[in-house]
Structure 1
Amino acid sequence: MGFIRAYLRVSTVGQDVMRAKEEIAEFAKSYHQQVASFYFEKFTGTSLNRPELSRLLAEASAGDIILIESVDRISRLKNDDWIALKNTIESKGISIVALDLPTSHIALKQVDTGDEFVKSVLRAVNGMLIDILAATARKDYDLRRKRTLEGIAKAQAERPDAYQGRKRNQVLWDSIGKLLRTSHTYTAIQQITGASRMTIAAVAKELKHETNTLKENHRLCAAAQ
């Protein structure tokens, strides 16, 4: 067995990543193992391109283990993206162990029975269960998103003047604006602020609009002189 690499993903700043770190460390310890490295990510699980997950895959080698709380921490991906990620993991000879998937725990046991048939069956069963859990995580995401959109539509229809959505975090927007003006990348801004790419894109769009408006005003003033 190679190194154990713990991947901890949260989608919001409020989620407790340190609690997950302690739980994963204790789990590894229960198998007399130690986590070699932790990868912390504040990013949606619906995106295949995640900085810390990409770094983990780049640093991992054959025999290593990706240790996660649950399969939805590594994937809420659409089927094609999940297949691409799984193929990358399998091609590198890496195993996935999830705390909530007991069949995957066998990878943490150093005892080798030498029975290749048993090991092959366990790998096949574990792979199938991970596929099912990944599909379930995506379905759960799609269902919650659908219900949220339906709830918004209903609220807007009933009281269009009352439903304004989530209030803007102006401090966060100002911070993102400053980072964008100093040529920070979206990935760097995410790591610094914990904001989503959607929020960063919204701030960038607003800044662009303000810049274009300012240029147009200057042009009109110059023409009037």
Structure 2
Amino acid sequence: MFVRAYLRASTSEQDAQRARASLEAFAIDRGLHIASWYVENESGSKLARPELFRLLRDAHPGDVLLVEQVDRLSRLTGDDWEKLKAEIASRRVRVVALDLPTSWMMATTNTDAFTLRMFEAVNGMMLDVLAAVARKDYEDRRRRQEQGQAKAKAEGRYKGRPEDTERNATIATMLAKGMSWSQVQSATGCSRATVAKIAKRAA
């Protein structure tokens, strides 16, 4: 059994490594060794997450997918959560989350078959509950954000996100030197839409 730790943050401005120490402490307390780390900055509301699916491709039956919280794994819609669960089940990977004590039994190797099946069933139900809660929290926060922006716009206070003028000037310089959009994206970490916007300005 290998323990594969998954760390995720929603944006590049957030520290995906923040929970590393907590996961290491959990593993040490149980005499486990984390064999590999998978780290990415992607929204939990997206099913397409390269590092998560690389973890699943690397995993062997019985391996542990260790996360700090269930919402690191999923803020997905119901349909996408079912797809991710099916992929996890097909790989026969055990999900262990620090915020889900019923999952901790999945990280032991000396459990008899009946007890393991019982905890897998309970753990599956709890994962569904926490995944649904995580999705609701995501939708509630998005709705409150949109309501706040709408109110600010109505009152003439909403200015949108401030432009990163220094970064955009760098992008413009790179484009002027003939660098490709993909090269600019890789070097600056910006989106393709941002490169397109700067390119349009310079046209």
TM-score, normalised via structure 1 length = 0.80
One-letter amino acid of the counterpart of residue 96, structure 2: V
Query: What SS does the corresponding residue of 2:106 show, helix, strand or coil?
Result: helix
Q: 1:183 to 1:61 in 2, by over 3 A?
A: farther
> Alpha-carbon deviation of 1:181?
4.1
Q: Deviations over 1:106-125 (max 9, x none)?
A: 0112222x3x3332221111
CA distance in 1, matches of 2:135, 2:66: 20
Greater radius of gyration (CA): 1
> Alpha-carbon deviation of 1:207?
4.0
Query: What SS does the corresponding residue of 2:8 show, helix, strand or coil?
Result: strand
Match of 2:127 in 1: 130
Match of 1:221 in 2: none
> Alpha-carbon deviation of 1:143?
0.5
> Alpha-carbon deviation of 1:175?
5.3
One-letter amino acid of the counterpart of residue 184, structure 1: S
> Alpha-carbon deviation of 1:13?
3.6
- Aligned counterparts, 1:26-37, within 5 A: 26-37=25-36
Residue 171 (structure 1) aligned to one of 166, 172, 180: 166
Match of 1:22 in 2: 21
Q: 1:139 to 1:193 in 2, by over 3 A?
A: farther
CA distance in 2, matches of 1:181, 1:54: 31
Unpaired runs of at least 5, structure 1: 215-225
CA distance in 2, matches of 1:176, 1:77: 33
Match of 1:49 in 2: 48
Q: 1:156 to 1:20 in 2, by over 3 A?
A: same
Q: Is the 8 A contact 1:176 1:203 kept in 2?
A: no
Q: Is the 8 A contact 2:63 2:93 kept in 1?
A: yes
Is structure 2 residue 143 aligned with structure 1 residue 121? no
Q: 1:47 to 1:172 in 2, by over 3 A?
A: farther
One-letter amino acid of the counterpart of residue 105, structure 1: W
CA distance in 2, matches of 1:23, 1:193: 30
- Aligned counterparts, 1:133-144, within 5 A: 133-144=130-141
One-letter amino acid of the counterpart of residue 41, structure 2: K
Query: What SS does the corresponding residue of 1:18 show, helix, strand or coil?
Result: coil
Q: Is the 8 A contact 1:12 1:194 kept in 2?
A: no
Query: What SS does the corresponding residue of 1:91 show, helix, strand or coil?
Result: helix
Tell me how large the CA RMSD over aligned residues is: 2.4
Aligned positions, number: 200
Match of 2:152 in 1: 155
CA distance in 1, matches of 2:183, 2:91: 29
Unpaired runs of at least 5, structure 2: none
> Alpha-carbon deviation of 1:174?
4.8
CA distance in 1, matches of 2:63, 2:181: 37
One-letter amino acid of the counterpart of residue 133, structure 2: T
CA distance in 2, matches of 1:109, 1:54: 24
Q: Is the 8 A contact 2:181 2:195 kept in 1?
A: no
